[in-house]
Chains A and B, each alone.
Chain A
Amino acid sequence: MLEAEAAHIFREVAGEFDRSTLLFSGGKDSIVMLHVALKAFAPAPLPFSLLHVDTGHNFPEVIAYRDRVVEKHGLRLDVASVQSYIDDGTLRERPDGTRNPLQTIPLLDAVRDGRFGAVFGGGRRDEEKARAKERVFSLRDEFGAWEPRRQRPELWQLYNGHHQPGEHFRVFPLSNWTELDVWQYIEHEGIELPEIYFAHWRKVFRRDGMWLAPGDWGGPRDDESVCERRVRYRTVGDMSCTGAVDSSASTVEEVIAEIAASRVTERGASRADDRLSEAAMEDRKREGYF
């Protein structure tokens, strides 16, 4: 039923918009989203391209996975690179080293240059309480801003895709899925994931209560010490703010058992940037973030 609903959303966008793109990071939500999209238009190819906003601090395993998937399905992938914005001086590195908030401008430029009317995102309403308020078809102005008081009501399954020049939609086909739904679907469909979702030994260090992976992004600092632990990732994003969790789950089945028993949300466990303030996600969405 959730799959049928997501396919309905993909086909509505393909029917209503001339140009759209699917945000693909190589994370599990975007992988599931792509899987449903491929099925919704099978046996024909996808009627839209993929877009990855690359922070430059992504896990190498995930980038390799991304390129494999693109190759396997003969897809078109555009990459908006945060690194190149930093290199040419358009964006400046933040003092805390996290690049997640820096994704907004490359994303908005890519939407403008691609003249996309709709951009699919893998966001789920169960992730975070500001997301719980977001529509399936989320209207954004030319600055990509989300204004919660001016959202369009969404009734039945009638999605209104009309917009003015400069505006675009963020469309979330997995809105009604939960973390557990995503994992059960991965199991049911036998979907391959980047290996870092499963338990492996990795050099990590402790910061703000999370296990972060050392890397070119700037960690660890002198006062932080590296150790080796058996971990896996619940979410996959920028290395500077995505934490690993201690785990011995090496199969999808074991991951599902672990999540079902977990007493911590995936964002609470592994996203540093959501902890910046009580309304961190809401504030970033207002600025045009996903």
Chain B
Amino acid sequence: MSTGVAEAADQTGSAGRLSGGLLRLATCGSVDDGKSTLVGRLLYDTKSVLADQAAAIEEVSRRRGQDGPDLALLTDGLRAEREQGITIDVAYRYFATPARRFILADTPGHVQYTRNMVTGASTADLAVILVDARNGVVAQTMRHGAIAALLRVPHVVLAVNKMDTVGYQESTFTAIADEFAGRARELGITDVTAIPMSALTGDNVVEPSTRMDWYDGDTLLSHLENVPVGGDPVSKPLRLPVQYVIRHPSQQRQVVERWPAGQLASGMLRVGDTVVVQPSGATSTVAGLSVLGKETDSVWAPQSVAVRLADEIDISRGDMLTAGPAPQMLRHITATVCHLHDRPLRARQRVLLKHTTRTVPAMVDRIDYRMDVTDARRLPGQDGLGANDIGGVQIRTAEPLAVDDYLENRRTGSFLLIDPQDGATLAAGMADARTGDQHLRQ
């Protein structure tokens, strides 16, 4: 086992180049908290901005009569964003240091773009929540905290920005950090690191500040370089959603071989292991394994693999190979959903539900509550959820689904609700499998 995990860890680096692997992070902040400047600063000071890009923003800044380069111009990529000086949509940025490589989901902070933060947070190992040192913790800060908690982002950084505007005072920083820590605990966030910084002047972003010698913690970048990455999907029970069945005639065995293929959501698998196919419940033994065309003895998450089973059993896209504690087979799902679409989500609405590689007709049975995301309070008695609302729902599906609790497994505990008419993505859901079918039994 230990060798397998070590090899798996090695494979997460790009071609084994970097030992620290890959960190996916999301940045969120209210309008004017300086988020674009912070992201620009991270890119600029890690030398991820190349000469032609730097020259381009320097020229535009000069044309607009600004003194130094406006780092926000590095990230606001769309016409409408540049015109309005705001960020509309999630953008992904890439940078690397000798220690680690990073994929940064740059998510806009407007209230009406909550869905974008949910999008960015869904794959993040770490969320950077910005506050303006002059304003401290505001409703929007707690909204970001609640979303990070809900989506189970493992680490949170509170970036107390614009310290230059409050005279780099320690007391201001401490008051904000303490207030957020207290309220974050109520939301269930356990890992918070607060860092005082100024993205404008570059203090404590990449370079340690000389103006805040009272702070002896990490800069933002060194924290990002050292924080442990993600959970450990390899140690969880086997979950392999079948995406596609590779068929090819085998000369050796005189048959057409069928290799169910997919990406391991969690766990590991060896030749000789017993697996259960969901939802049929059929059992078989692993006769062969391959990682992208190369046969091997063992595989682990998050590799994309193909499996040959010892028995000729019916298996196709939408099935899931499992081992260890079985996922629940649910036709009634209790879930928290973030509604993403402008058309509201209503009780009794017919939808399609996409869970791993399986899409089934479903119905929203009931909307239990809408969450006030500034304090995670549940507001019951709702008949619908509007765009950017987060709420609790009961969903009934046409076929049983192999669902894990989202707290246990982000990949097999999440789903999308899709409009069957135009195919639009309506909502993103996180299953509460522990209470799954209970409301029926009550």
Task: Name A residues whose Cβ lies closer than 8 Å to a Cβ of B.
Answer: 1-5, 7-8, 11-12, 14-15, 36, 38-44, 125-126, 129-130, 132-133, 148-149, 151-158, 160, 162-164, 175-176, 178, 180-181, 184-185, 187-188, 262-265, 268-269, 278-279, 282
Contacts and interface: CB of A to CB of B under 8 A. Distances in A.
A132 B51 contact: no
B17 interface: yes
B272 to A, nearest CB: 22
A140 to B, nearest CB: 13
Given A133-B91, A157-B263, A160-B423, 20 more contacts: A1-B14, A3-B304, A4-B292, A4-B304, A7-B292, A11-B243, A15-B244, A15-B357, A41-B246, A43-B248, A133-B90, A153-B116, A155-B118, A175-B92, A184-B15, A185-B15, A262-B50, A263-B50, A265-B52, A269-B52
Contacts of A126: 93-94
Contacts of A12: 243, 357
B115 A188 contact: no
B371 interface: no
Given A40-B292, A44-B247, A184-B15, A7 B418 contact: no
Interface stretch (B128-136, B186-194, B374-382, B409-417): B409-417
9 contacts: A12-B357, A36-B292, A41-B244, A149-B80, A153-B118, A156-B122, A162-B352, A162-B423, A279-B78
A162 B60 CA distance: 40
Nearest to A43: B248
B114 to A, nearest CB: 11
Given A155-B416, A158-B414, A187-B15, A176 B262 contact: no
Nearest to B22: A1
A262 B50 CA distance: 8
A15 B263 CA distance: 13
B160 interface: no
A164 B247 CA distance: 30
B296 interface: no
Contacts of A264: 50-52
A5 B123 CA distance: 13
A133 B89 contact: yes
Interface in B230-282: 243-244, 246-248, 261-263
Interface SS majority for chain B: mixed
Contacts of A151: 89
Contacts of B96: 178, 180
A129 B23 CA distance: 21
A216 B116 CA distance: 47
A279 B261 contact: no
A151 B90 CA distance: 10
Contacts of B414: 155-156, 158
Contact of B411 (A36, A38, A156): A156
B88 interface: yes
B119 interface: yes
Interface string B120-148: 00110000000000000000000000000
Nearest to B115: A153
Contact of B77 (A129, A163, A175): A129
A149 B243 contact: no
B317 interface: yes
B169 interface: no
A157 B411 contact: yes
Contacts of A156: 122-123, 410-411, 414, 428
A15 B14 contact: no
Contact of B424 (A129, A152, A262): A152
A181 B411 CA distance: 25
Interface string B211-226: 0000000000000000
Nearest to A265: B50
Nearest to B121: A155
A167 to B, nearest CB: 8
Instruction: Name which of A151, A153, A181 has the most chain B CB atoms within 10 A of its CB.
Output: A153
Contacts of B53: 265, 268
Interface in B43-87: 50-53, 56, 60, 74-75, 77-80, 82
Contact of A155 (B89, B103, B428): B428
B248 A44 contact: yes
Nearest 5 Cβ contacts at the A-B interface: A162-B423, A42-B293, A268-B52, A129-B77, A7-B304
B332 interface: no
A243 B352 CA distance: 48
Contact of B293 (A4, A15, A43, A157): A43
Contacts of B247: 44
* Of listed A44, A181, A185, residue having the most chain B CB within 10 A: A44
Residue with the highest number of chain A CB atoms closer than 10 Å, among B11, B60, B79, B317 = B79
B297 to A, nearest CB: 18
Contacts of A149: 80, 88-89
Contact of A153 (B263, B293, B415, B428): B428
A290 B263 CA distance: 27
B306 to A, nearest CB: 8
Contacts of B78: 130, 133, 148, 279, 282
B393 interface: no
Given A4-B263, A153-B115, A153-B340, A178 B122 contact: no
B312 interface: no
Interface in B283-332: 290, 292-293, 302-304, 317
Contacts of B290: 42
Given A8-B263, A39-B292, A160 B304 contact: no
Nearest to B242: A15
B269 to A, nearest CB: 14
A11 B357 CA distance: 10
- Max chain A CB contacts within 10 Å: which of B74, B246, B262, B303? B246
Contacts of A184: 14-15, 17
Contacts of B423: 160, 162-164
A48 B417 CA distance: 28
A282 B244 contact: no
